[in-house]
Structure 1
Amino acid sequence: MNISKYEQRVLHALAQGGRIAHEQTRGKVTEILCFTRDGMILSDCDMILFQRLRRRRLIESRGGAPYRISRRGREAVRAQPDNR
């Protein structure tokens, strides 16, 4: 699967234990914030990138919890020593 540099960066942060907090209005996600495992905000994650990851089922949310990397996302992400 072809994954862009920004998608790769977000998936890598999620694979290390990060999460994407979201806000919903009438069942639609209206705002997102991507947190790394250290609690820092990843600015590369925007709504378009979030929708693309969700459409490809690389991230998932269960029971209204924050979005995390899915099994399919873990298989798609390339191993990297850091996010650079």
Structure 2
Amino acid sequence: MNISRNEQRILHLLAQGGRIELEKDENKRIEQIWCLTREGWAYTDFDLEMFRKLKRKKAIASSNGGPYRITRHGLRLVRAEQNNR
């Protein structure tokens, strides 16, 4: 399954320990969404459309009401990327 460059960046960030957190309104609709690195920094190029694409592809999932994290399927989708750490 092909994924875009931006989806690839998000999945790589999640594979390194990042998470996606949601804020919902009283009607249970998503009000705000953040993609956070493992250090707690917010990734700015993440929006609701990208979240829905990754969820539709089953690359991310939430368990027990916690933040969204990468799934095993998502790990298979992500390609190796050099990291300058």
The equivalent residue for 1:41 is 42
Within-5 A mapping of 1:4-83: 4-25=4-25, 26-82=27-83
> Which stretch of the first structure deviates more once superposed, 3-12 or 21-30?
21-30
SS at match of 2:46: coil
Cα displacement (A) at 1:27 = 3.3
The letter of the residue matching 2:52 is Q
Cα displacement (A) at 1:31 = 1.6
Measure the CA separation in 2 of the matches of 1:21 and 1:58.
15
Q: Residues 29-64 of structure 1, C-alpha deviation per residue, up to 9 Å, x if partnerless?
A: 332100011111111111100010011110000111
Q: TM (normalized to structure 2)? A: 0.90
Measure the CA separation in 1 of the matches of 2:68 and 2:55.
9
Runs in 1 of length 4+ with deviation above 2 angstroms? 24-30
The letter of the residue matching 2:12 is H
Q: CA RMSD in A?
A: 1.4
Alignment gaps of 5+ in structure 1: none
Q: Give the share of equivalent positions with the same residue, in percent.
A: 48
Q: TM (normalized to structure 1)? A: 0.91
Measure the CA separation in 2 of the matches of 1:29 and 1:57.
18
Alignment gaps of 5+ in structure 2: none
Cα displacement (A) at 1:11 = 0.3
